[in-house]
Amino acid sequence: MAARQFDIAVIGGGPCGIVAATYAAGGGRKVCLIDRKPSPGHPVRCGEAIGLKGFASTVELKPEWIQSKISYMKLVSPSGITVTVPNSYEGYVVDRERMEKDLTTDAVARGAEFIADTSIVSVSSRNGDGYECRSRDSVIHAQCVILAEGVESRLARNLGWSTSLSLRDIHSCAFARIAHDGVEPGTCVFYLGVKRAPGGYVWVFHRGGNTANVGLGVLGESCQKGMPRTLLEDFIREKFPGARVSDLHCGGVPMGRWIRPLVRGGVMLAGDAAHMMNCVSGAGIAYALYSGKIAGTVAAQSFVNGKCRPEMLGSYQDQWASFYGKQQDRSHAIKEVMVGFPDVFLDDVARSATKNCARKMSILSIFVKAFYKRPLLLLKVVRLLR
Ligand SMILES: Cc1cc2nc3c(=O)[nH]c(=O)nc-3n(C[C@H](O)[C@H](O)[C@H](O)COP(=O)(O)OP(=O)(O)OC[C@H]3O[C@@H](n4cnc5c(N)ncnc54)[C@H](O)[C@@H]3O)c2cc1C
């Protein structure tokens, strides 16, 4: 089998890989973007919510991607106390399929070659002369490889990374799209409580018209086989009886710390494959876009006289660590405390928020107020954040 030659191979054409390929090609290198799916963006396994800040300095948000502007956040406590607050950050629910298609077109316009319908089964070192990426019926040689194949990443493990997550650091999720007249426009709703989603929460994100993305995550250590799907179906039946349900999928969200190191030799890990995620919200699109950008940029810059110098790839980890990496470590510490919140505490928070005119507060200020009533818990959070 004749091998095709590239400077940089990006494996995985989700938001991370697409942006990595765009920046690597923009840096003047010969780049391929490989995805096992026949076309970009489908199927979508995501709530598709992202703040405007999440696009900052990576890609420009196109108005045609926007399905809904998030104006309100609503929390429903375990016993049903509802708190609605205005969304303090500009945020949207976007059409990820369309976004990924457009971004892939941009990557190709910058010079990257998109190789669809190709599942890479192994990546191996060529003894100092780059890497060999193999699918069942093709071989690609590249001097530098960016692994962006999402949370199910196997290739990284085979290259020596420890990618397993403890059951405390993974959410098992079920997700669906619904159409129902009870969907609240411009609102993201979160339902809390051990009965609805042990160690996690249920979310309903308005997606334009009478449609919404609905999903839930159950903490790995509380999860049993089939549980997320059953809980989701029960929830939809209860809250949106008779809803038209489509695109039901299950998947995992990494809720641990990002994998270190991010670089081994000429291979870089990025996005979900590197477990990059806000561990409180489970939001990873912004992290994927940003890590893709810096991985692609640094990869292109590491070429001197046509050869990749792996020792120059280290600045990728430094840049990640000093920006989103720090934020993720904080979110992980907060998640560790939140997992222990009993339902009575969450009801208490909701009750005190309704007394304090929540419409003028943010979600954060509601929790801060609740912590004041529990100084020991506050102390624990402060210690974890140091
Ligand atoms: C149910 C659910 C809801 C979510 N909701 C939100 C949300 O509302 N907001 C948010 O910000 N984040 C959300 N996330 C997280 C978000 O979806 C991820 O963080 C984001 O998709 C990560 O992007 P990525 O490019 O790293 O990986 P992915 O999007 O997973 O892309 C990986 C790509 O690699 C390809 N691939 C995998 N293996 C191979 C292989 N061997 N060869 C070739 N190609 C391969 C796959 O086909 C895929 O296209 C959610 C996640 C889940 C599971």
Domains (range + CATH), the chain: 3-60+95-163+256-334 (3.50.50.60), 64-93+166-254 (3.30.9.10), 336-385 (no CATH)
Ligand 1 atom nearest residue 284's Cα = 19
Low-confidence stretches of the chain (pLDDT < 70) are 356-386
Ligand 1: centre distance to CA 91 (Å): 19
Q: Which residue, by CA, sits nearest to atom 39 of ligand 1? A: 149
**Helix or strand or coil: residue 213?**
strand
Q: What is the pLDDT of residue 338?
A: 84
Q: With a threshold of 0.85, does the pTM exceed it?
A: yes
> In 10 A of CB 121, how many CB atoms?
13
Q: What is the pLDDT of residue 242?
A: 98
Q: What is the pLDDT of residue 380?
A: 60
Q: Could you report the per-residue pLDDT of 59-107, keeping only the tens digit for each? A: 999 999 999 999 999 999 999 999 999 988 899 999 999 999 999 999 9
Ligand 1: centre distance to CA 252 (Å): 10
Q: How many residues does the chain have?
A: 386
Tell which one of 272, 281, 290, 293 to mutate to probe ligand 1, the residue whose CB is within 8 A of the most ligand atoms: 272
Residue 74: phi and psi, rounded to 5, are -130, 130
292 in Cβ contact with 20 (< 8 Å):
yes
Ligand 1 atom nearest residue 151's Cα = 30
Ligand 1: centre distance to CA 385 (Å): 28
